[in-house]
């Protein structure tokens, strides 16, 4: 057998990796040029150079295994990754037994959004959030609206290198009180989110994570020491849905929600209602009762309207009546603040006092038309309204600060 034939008959792992990268590059070229940031979120100019390849940075939360393998312990997948291979997310890579992130500060999407777009309705209403993302995600929702960055690899999107300090400076320049880690899945760029949030906190800028909640407890607790708010997408309340529609699991997401409750950080829930898949009244009632029992009645729930996209184009957009029914079920179950999303001008966008029913915040889409809350209270009956109503409140201590033990899982390898 000649040398080339022997190579194909007995390829090394590195050979396979090189072939895979070559095939991936060819596929990317076949799709056209890399997807630019402005295609994803409107786009704004960012400081820093444009990237022509990946940037390597030590990853957090992983363990060494035999034969130069590593185990990632950042999310519930706990990927075991061989040398020169990547985890499921596609943005964390093993190089010689050292785990690295390929998206530290490599922003492919950036925009200044209303905080209501996240959506966060009880967090500094009427303000803006400097919103950023990198490529990658640790699940695959068939209905993802940002699939061209969440399901792409770093090499397949145009990115700009921005340090944490540069990002915070850009946020302050635009007078946004908050940075939002959003659009794709911020768990996969955990290191950058953590470091940026720490720099932001030191300068009085808040940080909110807009996430699927697919994150293990230890990294979540460590991250929340820097964050000021969280929004979690609760995709459904059935394991079958998570497995078939998201390539994930429900149980770890519920554990994340219980951990957020224990920490004491402000968080809100969003449920995208998809016709025939997760819109059953029984499922909505079970979900709502679980929320009240395990998280309390004050966690806002947003039931939002589905529009066909990505791999789910065979279903219609959600009927408004279905959103209204879901909202009423949650209210009847004891959730005090329930919203209808993606339906501009709907009365379900507005906030009412759970004590006396007075309208407190009126919204039109993502715009706050009026806000009557005074010092976090209803002006009519003085009922305290749950939420974050000032920047000082965002930075108020919420939990006991305890040092995180330094282990192989919490430091770079």
Tens-digit pLDDT profile for residues 195-209:
999 999 999 999 999
Residues 8-21 have a mean pLDDT of 44
pLDDT surpassing 80 at residue 41: no
In CATH, the number for domain 234-341 is: 3.20.20.70
User: Which two tokens mark 173?
Assistant: 């320049």
Please check whether residue 301 is in contact with residue 337, taking contact to mean a CB–CB distance below 8 angstroms. yes
Find out whether 112 and 174 touch, Cβ atoms under 8 Å.
yes
Q: What's the predicted TM-score (pTM) here?
A: 0.88
Q: Where residue 399 falls among pLDDT bands split at 50, 70, 90? A: low
Which of 212, 208, 197 lies closest to 122, judged by CA? 208
Where are the domains positioned within the chain?
Answer: 234-341, 350-398
Angle at 94 between CA 253 and CA 163, to 5 degrees: 75
Question: pLDDT (tens digit, 9 = 90+) per residue, 322-367?
Answer: 999 999 999 999 999 999 999 999 999 999 999 999 999 999 999 9
Residue 35's pLDDT band (cuts 50, 70, 90) = very low
Q: Does pLDDT of 396 surpass 60?
A: yes
Model confidence at 132, in pLDDT bands (50, 70, 90)? Answer: very high
Higher-confidence position of 72 and 411: 72
Decide: 256 and 216 in contact? Cβ < 8 Å: no
Cα(153)–Cα(106) distance, integer angstroms? 12
Of the candidates 188, 276, 186, the one whose C-alpha atom is nearest the C-alpha of residue 227 is 186
Q: How confident is the model at residue 398 (pLDDT cuts 50, 70, 90)?
A: confident
**How many whole angstroms from its chain centre is CA 80?**
23
* Sequential DSSP letters for 125-164: TT-EEEEEE-S--SS--TT-TTHHHHTS-GGGB--EE--H
Total length of the chain: 413
pLDDT of residue 78: 98
| H-helix segments, 32-163 | 38-41, 147-150
């Amino acid at each position: 057998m000649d040398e080339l034939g022997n190579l194909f008959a007995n390829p090394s792992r590195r050979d396979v990796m090189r072939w895979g990268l070559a095939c991936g590059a060819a596929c990317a070229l076949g799709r056209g040029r890399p997807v630019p940031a402005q295609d994803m979120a409107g786009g704004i100019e960012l400081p820093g150079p444009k990237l022509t390849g990946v940037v390597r940075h030590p990853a957090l939360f992983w363990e060494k295994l035999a034969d130069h393998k590593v185990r990632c312990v950042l999310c519930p997948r706990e990927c075991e990754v061989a040398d020169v291979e990547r985890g499921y997310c596609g943005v964390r890579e093993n190089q010689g037994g050292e785990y690295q992130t390929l998206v530290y500060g490599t922003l492919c999407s950036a925009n200044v959004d209303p905080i209501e777009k996240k959506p966060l309705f009880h967090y500094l209403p009427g303000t803006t959030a400097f919103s950023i993302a990198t490529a990658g995600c640790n699940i695959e929702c068939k209905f993802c609206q940002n699939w061209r960055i969440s399901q792409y690899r770093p090499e397949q999107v145009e990115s700009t290198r921005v340090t944490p300090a540069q990002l915070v400076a850009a946020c302050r320049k635009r007078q946004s009180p908050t940075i939002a880690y959003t659009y794709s899945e911020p768990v996969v760029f955990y290191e950058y989110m953590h470091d940026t949030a720490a720099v932001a906190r030191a300068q009085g800028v808040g940080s909110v994570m807009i996430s699927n909640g697919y994150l293990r407890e230890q990294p979540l607790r460590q991250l929340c020491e820097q964050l000021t708010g969280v929004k979690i997408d609760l995709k459904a309340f059935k394991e079958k849905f998570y497995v078939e529609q998201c390539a994930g699991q429900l149980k770890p997401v519920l554990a994340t929600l219980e951990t957020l409750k224990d920490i004491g950080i402000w968080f809100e829930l969003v449920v995208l209602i998809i016709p025939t898949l997760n819109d059953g009244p029984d499922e909505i009632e079970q979900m709502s009762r679980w929320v009240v029992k395990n998280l309390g009645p004050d966690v806002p729930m947003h039931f939002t309207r589905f529009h066909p996209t990505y791999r789910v184009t065979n279903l219609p957009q959600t009927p408004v009546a279905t959103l209204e029914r879901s909202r009423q079920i949650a209210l009847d179950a004891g959730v005090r603040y329930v919203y209808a999303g993606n339906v501009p001008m709907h009365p379900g966008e507005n906030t009412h006092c759970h004590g006396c029913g007075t309208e407190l915040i009126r919204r039109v889409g993502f715009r706050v038309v009026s806000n009557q809350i005074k010092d976090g209270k209803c002006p009519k009956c003085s009922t305290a309204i749950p939420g974050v109503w000032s920047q000082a409140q965002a930075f108020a201590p919420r939990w006991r600060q305890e040092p995180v033990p330094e282990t192989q899982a919490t430091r770079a390898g």
